[in-house]
Structure 1
Amino acid sequence: MGWELMRRFFFDPTLRDGDIVFLSDEESHHIAKVLRLKTGDVIEILDGLGAVFRAVITSVGRQVEARIEEIITREATVGKSVWVWQAILKGEKMDTVVQKCTELGVTGLLPYQSSRCQGKFDQVQGRKKYQRWQRIGLEACKQCRRLHAIHIDAPTSYAESLKKRSDDDGVLRLLFWEEEKTTRLGDIPEIRDAASLALMLGPEGGFTREEVELARLSGWRTVSLGDRILRAETATLSAVAIVQFLAGSL
């Protein structure tokens, strides 16, 4: 089987005992029930931290076990980190954002609920959505051959989200706001040299002025994506792609 056809699966590094790896319930189900792989089949497994191993399935059941045969590659770094603060979007829009941000190399996604988000959800709904986004992120990693898993935070409030990663050094924080009329991404040369980038994108209804001012007090700079009013999911993907290009990552 050529490497380009090799099935890839993620595993939790804490569920490794020497050369034996225990796959998650979801990955085990996919192996046993969907792909119907068997004991002795060769797969590639990723620890989500940059390492890829060739492994042989040793047990197929509710929890699949595999034995590591060799390390194929180890990617130590992922370049400049890009974190996206994303207002929770309605329906499949958020799924699209998670998938495409993963493909575009975003380091982590921090979902938050702001005042203009469409629809509200409680902790149970939030947990279910969070688990779904985790699954989508891992599947996107496999599809685009990404070695480092995207980090996805549990949903939180807008105010709480501003406190996250607030102690990180050398971070350039950019809030994309349709009412910003002066500064565009091309006007910010610091993007290429910043140690890390933080991008904040709003919901379908945009940010309130109070939310923008609160972000500014926390060190965020407002920036425009141009004169057109973009759909929320389009704005996120455009912002990420342009920033990655300006940062030298695309």
Structure 2
Amino acid sequence: MTTTGRVHSWDLSTGVDGPGPRFVLFLSGCPLRCLYCANPDTWHMRDGKETAVEEVMAEIEKYRAFITTPGGGVTLTGGEPLLQSAFTGEVLRRCKEAGLHTALDTSGFLGVRASEELLSATALVLLDIKSFDIDTYRKLTGGELAPTLSFATRLGRLGVPMWIRYVLVPGWTDDEEAVECLARFVAGLGTVDRVDVLPFHKLGTAKYDALGLPFPVRDTPVPAPGPTERVRARCRAHGLSAY
């Protein structure tokens, strides 16, 4: 029986969506509504194209020479790939069987949908922790923080390598106490290879305009280098590699 999913698009990247050159598959559908989301066009599954796993694998195969150079591979992102966990798991499994490095980019909000089989086919999880303050997380995303922290703890227990991603949004995610708690928590997971502190940007503004949607943080300034580096330094103080 053919497994299908709703695919928004795919792209090629280097060093941004995991180690080395990557084939990046964007899946449609997300349960969160992050105020700073750069891809509002991936929110709804109905906007994606129904695609069979075989079609995805055929597309990936075209770029095998590019993505099999040292460190390269395939990254599933979105949207939220765990919203389509059966499709995501099958693509990851097929990629692993094909000898390709696999990465899963997720908020962890739907971590309970990640089966042991799916995780066994995942070489790296890019885990987006939107905020470490419960109230801020809820206001920023419309969801709850606890599922993400539970998923992170589970990944650490299973020995799954992680890259933590933290978007620095002035006035939202720059609280020093919350950053300190985040760094302490992440350091205790045991399998975090690096922390990427990503300055908030407004590159998705045109998408909101095209969709007729308000961009809630349109007037929020992008962070200066100083505050961004201070968050990285806080992570490094706990023995983490931060970039």
Using structure 1 for the length normalisation, give the TM-score.
Answer: 0.27
Query: Which structure has the greater CA radius of gyration?
Result: 1
Hey, which of these two has a bigger chunk of helix by percent? 2
